[in-house]
Amino acid sequence: MAQLYDAITHNKRNSVFLILAFILIVGLLSYFLGIFFASPAIGLIFGFFFILVMMLIGYYGGNSLILAMHKAKEVQKKDDPYLVNTVEGLALAAGIPTPKIYMIEESSPNAFATGRDPKHASITVTSGLRSSLDRQELEGVIAHEMSHIKNFDIRYMMLVTILAGVVVLLSDFILRSFLFGGARSHNRKGGGIFLVLILLGIALAILSPIIAQIIKFAASRQREYLADASGAMLTRNPQGLANALKKIRDAKDKVVDDANKATAHLFIENPLRGLGGMNQLFSTHPDINERIRRLEKM
């Protein structure tokens, strides 16, 4: 059990570093944007104001947007008493309000949690997951998602997604501005030093989206390990989640039809893995076999 707590502490510490790395990238992009158009200070103010606006939009409307995007329908107790009772029991054990429960009509077994905090959270499962898991396996998956909620992973991953999106937008803005001559007048005045800054800014604008995606993947992977560990603590039965992950791994249908790259990190396992290619290479999830191995060692 001591190793379990050490893993949780390690993942939380790494997550802080990942967020700081995101903020540093956004700050650098904003700085170069300011150099191109006015001053570094104005660029920094613009960049962080942009982040604030995007975070407010995501904070208050992100949950509803994600559920609508995946055509999720709320589940009442009369619709599926066992599923609702399972969620209620695990929420009580976790010491958090009972999240709303949604289901997606989808044969691929998967699940995710979303929301801004434990009071405004939901757990969504696919119909394929509901029909294929036994009691202990279903409890393991629900406990995993409950841990995402209790650990505020839902808010954390929303923040990471927003920051990654801001990095991409700022990078694109810098590149377009340079291509269309937004910095030419400054270039004439600044001479060689300004030319060096322009080249550095362009290099950063090109590389930042790639770096942001790598950071996003690393952050999501760390959180999945943490939720596996916390979920196992909640049920006191790590084998239940391990068996559920085996069924998810071996399912014939590995693609959640309405999932996309923007929401893939929310799911308990990569919902695009069946598409192969870059979707597998740049997966937002750790290797499922490694997750199973860790759970079975507990």
Q: What is the pLDDT of residues 258-276, one digit of tens each?
A: 877 777 888 999 888 866 5
Given a cut of 50, whether residue 287 has pLDDT beyond it is yes
14: nearest Cα among 152, 220, 164: 220
**Helix segments in 126-183, DSSP class H:** 127-132, 135-150, 153-179
Task: Look at residue 42 in the predicted model and tell me its pLDDT.
Answer: 82
Q: Which of 67-71, 87-91, 164-168, 226-230 has the lowest mean pLDDT?
A: 164-168
Q: Distance between CA 288 and CA 271 in Å, rounded?
A: 12
Task: Look at residue 196 in the predicted model and tell me its pLDDT.
Answer: 63
Which sequence spans correspond to the domains of the chain? 2-297
Task: Look at residue 35 in the predicted model and tell me its pLDDT.
Answer: 74
What is the token pair recorded at 232? 């196992």
Q: Is 139 a catalytic residue?
A: no
Task: Look at residue 188 in the predicted model and tell me its pLDDT.
Answer: 47
pLDDT bucket at 153, cuts 50 / 70 / 90: confident
113: nearest Cα among 75, 158, 71: 158
In percent, the amount of the chain with pLDDT more than 90 equals 36
Q: How far is CA 34 from CA 39, 47, 169, 257, in A?
A: 5, 9, 15, 41
**Single pTM value for the model:** 0.77
Given 106, 145, 224, 269, which residue is catalytic?
145
Please list, in sequence order, all residues whose beta carbon lies within 8 angstroms of the beta carbon of residue 1, skipping any fewer than 6 positions away.
Answer: none
Instruction: Work out whether strand 111-115 and strand 100-104 pair parallel, antiparallel, or are unpaired.
Output: unpaired
**Mean pLDDT value of segment 232-236:** 91
Task: Look at residue 61 in the predicted model and tell me its pLDDT.
Answer: 81
More confident residue, 72 or 158: 72
Task: Look at residue 199 in the predicted model and tell me its pLDDT.
Answer: 67
**Mean pLDDT value of segment 51-71:** 83
**Mean pLDDT value of segment 135-151:** 94
Q: Which of 102-106, 210-214, 261-265 has the lowest mean pLDDT?
A: 210-214
What is the token pair recorded at 171? 């990078």
In percent, the amount of the chain with pLDDT more than 70 equals 79
Check if the beta carbon of residue 157 is closer than 8 Å to that of residue 123: no
Most confident option among 59-73, 83-97, 217-231: 83-97
Q: How many residues does the chain have?
A: 298
Task: Look at residue 134 in the predicted model and tell me its pLDDT.
Answer: 94
